[in-house]
Structure 1
Amino acid sequence: MSTRSVPVRVLACAAALSALAFATPGAKADGLADAKAMVAAHSSLPEKFAPPNPPFDAKACVGGKKLLVIPVSSANPFTKNIATAMTAAGKEVGLEVVEWENQARPTQWVQGFDYAINNGFDAIDLLGGVNPAVLGPQIKAAKAAGLKVFTSHFYDTTQDPDPSLDGTSRIPFHKAGEIMANWAIAQTGGKVNAIIIGSDEIVPTAPFVEGIKKTLDANCADCKYTYVNAPVPEWSTKIQSSVQSGLISDPTVNYILPIYDSMSQFVIPAIKITGKTGQVKIATFNGTPFVIDAIQKGEVEMDVGESLGWIARGILDNEMRLMCGMEASDQLYVPFYLFTEANAKDAGTPADYDRGYGDMHVGGYRKLWGVE
């Protein structure tokens, strides 16, 4: 996505912020303690790997099969790196995983289906934001040709997947929202004034944002927030201008909460231009490498990370089983882990998509697949 800067548009503030700031009612008396407890719970990695499915012979199951991964956009570092990690992990069990390069255009997703159908693929994975609801005819055609169609890292665990799918791997986006909100509460002593940034057209955005709002309401009597809806195609134009306008119109704003961390590339310049560096913090979600780099530079305060390599293996674990007619979990077992200035360098300099989380998932899944 473009990183070009855009001019300050102070007068656009009223239109850009989609909700008026308001204090949160009915907060619990022990809300600050609850916030700190949740932050502490996600400040360390699990001590051991917990298998999400039973062991199986993955090579015997999928050896020689082909999976086409269609990410929401190959320009999005988050989904791009997951697709790359899936390709590498697939080689360990003889599964050919191919990424369908695209720039988030639905016509390109349609072309990906045609390619899979015409080139002997066994399954298609719609990764990280490709909405199956807009691809009904293509899914029907793929299934008629004998392919299975999955989504991954798309639905919240509270949401029902599209019935046309052969399987899905969901994550608790709402929980990531709770962690982000509690981080801000803990860091400010319950004095949050935040701008939340989301993209309403992305299916899990609603429960994700609701997780942030409900947590602020429950744990923080003196917190307030506004919400900005920035559709994905408008990230490069709307996010920076909206944040700049919000910071100028309300000098007491102390947190920006972009729910997908790739949004941060447009938030950082807004904070710098308005002279708010050091005053306004960014807390976000995904653990994309360039954002962890930004933590090391002091530009982002916290990122709720997910090991992209762990995600990749979790997706493959579910989808390989489904390709072979087996049962599989409909969720991803991927622990959330907070990156801050204290541990961001553990991910490498520059950060890598699979460093900083230990390597228990690599050996864990290899053992689960019978290749170790």
Structure 2
Amino acid sequence: MRAHFRSDVPIVWQGRHRPAEDPFRASTAPPPGASMSIRDHDLRISPTLSVNPPRRARRAATALIAATGLVLAGCTSTGEAGTGSSAAGQGVDVSAAVAAVKEASAVPAFQLQAPPVDMTKIAGKKVYVIPLSSQIPYVTAVDAEIKSVVEQHGATYLEFPNSGQPTEWAAGITQAIAQQADVIILSQGPDPKLLVPQLQQAKEAGIPVVLSHLYQVGEELPSEVDGLIAATTNVDFAEAGRLMADAAIARSGGAVNALIITSTEVAPSQSISDAVQATLKERCPDTCKATVENVPVADWATRLSSTTQTALQRDPDINWVIPLYDSMSLGVISGITSAGKTTGVDVASYNGTPDILKLIQDGGPMKVDVGESTAWLGRAAADQAFRLLAGQEPIAGGDVKTPLRIFTPDNVGEAGTPPQATLGYGDAYSSGYDALWTSGQ
């Protein structure tokens, strides 16, 4: 999941003014002595985390992404995990963490095993895409890949641009019906529970709907939309949490005192945070622990630095800060610097945003980022749509096996210099889907 700020919103630095930019991009560091606030910001949350099947049997609680209408609660909570009488004598399992990190650091393989799709039945069809928001670059990158493969196979790509409002998604479905679309893709997580009347109309019109990147692998569709969604592409948000914890354990020799910074109003946060803590408790119960601080997304610009600084001053032994989403990382790093902890405290996060991968390349506290491929996500969504258009069964349960990859100083160069969203994941997704998309002979 990513937090995105609209590009037309001014960012105000105390005593100075700059054109609107993403407040967490590396290029928007404040002038010396300035502090940052965001005025009249418009927050968009994009569920963009697609992961491969869990590498361990333990599965954290399922997570449902709230695509819009997030209530930005302002409370801060703390908690600890990883110590207690039940942990005594269990030792430290660094080797398992090292193995997990090694596996997830490699260029991912194409693991989807599914029947081939007869692509001769795709030509001439209309694929209508309704994105979560056309203002989110990550979402538009996914949709660009959908467009590419749809047109490559002779179908027509149509899209309903929008700013992420449920009323716009509803209008998009209505427009798709009017244009006699053959399949609709709700791309990157529009909430179908807000679209039940329109989804019923699409079903009555005989138009199947694919929902991408909203639900946890293994999670059933909500009862409100069961029977209205023909196929999904699902993810395992908790795996990112497990991998962040494993990376910290592996790089610290099993001695982790972590500060986890969450945003509890974002639905997957609980699952990810729980997975980090559970992994620390499982791997190193006697030598690892975690404290959790909540910073609502609306407060990222103003509170991430101070929350991090205060926590480090309260507990000087903290050696890892784990903000759950990597757009939080610049604020966290600012707090680390303000606390005078420029060495001895490392950062691990999740998303693989190119600007944050650049921080790994530059050196400093940023050491781990768990990323994903927009091109892979786009092909996964298109594949489900193609199966429906060909009159075939979609992949059951939406388990399309899109992977994560851990980036560290050891392999971040493979993401490009500077990093690019389309690099670092190899090309197995391209050859893998091409092999599934056949001529029908």
Give the structure-1-normalised TM-score: 0.85
Identify the residue that residue 273 of structure 2 maps to in structure 1. 209
For 1:130 and 1:155, the matched residues in 2 are separated by 11
What per-residue deviation string (whole Å, max 9, x for no partner) do you get for residues 125-182 of structure 1?
Answer: 3333433223333333333343322222222214222324222111222222111111
Range moving further from structure 2, 276-285 or 300-309:
276-285
**CA offsets per residue over residues 69-112 of structure 1, 9 Å max, x none?**
312x4444433322222222322223344454444443443343
Letter in 2 for 1:260: Y
Could you say which residue in structure 1 is the equivalent of 2:401? 333
CA deviations 1:239-278 (Å, max 9, x no partner) are 4453344334333322222333333354344334444334
The residue number in structure 1 matching 2:78 is 19
Question: Is residue 179 of structure 1 aligned with residue 246 of structure 2?
Answer: no
Conservation of the 8 A alpha-carbon contact between 1:7 and 1:241: no
* 1:15-70, Cα deviation, whole Å (9 max, x unpaired): 75422335434444242222122112222235x54443211222423543222131
Per-residue deviation at 1:215? Answer: 0.7
1:217 deviates by 1.5
- The separation in 1 between residues aligned to 2:230 and 2:207, in whole angstroms, is 9
Separation in structure 1 between the aligned mates of residue 158 and residue 302 of structure 2, nearest angstrom: 32
Aligned to 2:113: 52
Report the counterpart of residue 375 of structure 2 in structure 1.
Answer: 309
CA contact (8 A) 2:131 2:139 kept: no
1:39 is the counterpart of 2:101: yes
One-letter amino acid of the counterpart of residue 336, structure 2: I
Query: Does residue 147 in structure 1 map to residue 207 in structure 2?
Result: yes
Contact preservation (8 Å) 2:128, 2:184 = yes
- Does the 8 A contact of 1:311 with 1:332 survive in 2? no
The 1:205/1:151 distance shift into structure 2, 3 A limit, reads farther
Pair member with larger Rg: 2
Amino acid at match of 1:52: Q
Matched residue SS, 1:304: strand
Off by >6 Å, runs of 4+ in structure 1 = none
User: Are 2:412 and 1:344 equivalent residues in the alignment?
Assistant: yes
1:229 positional shift:
4.1
Q: Secondary structure at the match of 1:251?
A: coil
User: Gapped runs of 5+ residues in structure 1?
Assistant: 9-14
Q: Distance in 2 between matches of 1:107 and 1:363?
A: 38
Aligned with 1:42: secondary structure? helix
1:352/1:249 CA distance change after superposition, 3 Å = same
Q: Per the alignment, in what secondary structure is the counterpart of residue 122 of structure 2?
A: helix
Give how far 1:356 is off: 1.7
Aligned to 1:12: none
* 1:234, distance to aligned residue in structure 2 (A): 4.8
Q: Is residue 93–residue 371 contact of structure 1 (8 Å, CA) maintained in 2?
A: no
Q: Is the 8 A contact 2:81 2:277 kept in 1?
A: no
8 A Cα contact 2:78 2:292, kept in partner: yes
In 2 relative to 1, CA 81–252 (structure 1 residues): closer, same or farther, beyond 3 Å? farther
Q: Which residue of 1 aligns with 2:52?
A: none
| Residue 367 to residue 106, structure 1, CA distance change in 2 (3 Å) | same
What is the aligned partner in structure 2 of residue 271 from structure 1? 336
User: Aligned residues: percent identity?
Assistant: 35
Which is helix-richer, 1 or 2?
Answer: 1
Deviation (angstroms), 1:340:
1.2
Superposition RMSD on alpha carbons, in Å? 3.0
Aligned mate of 1:320, from 355, 368, 386: 386
One-letter amino acid of the counterpart of residue 166, structure 1? A
- Distance in 2, matches of 1:107 and 1:230, equals 29
CA separation in 2, counterparts of 1:99 and 1:270?
Answer: 41
| Alpha-carbon distance between aligned partners in 2 of 1:266 and 1:332, rounded to the nearest angstrom | 34
Equivalent residues of 1:18, 1:228 under 8 A apart: yes
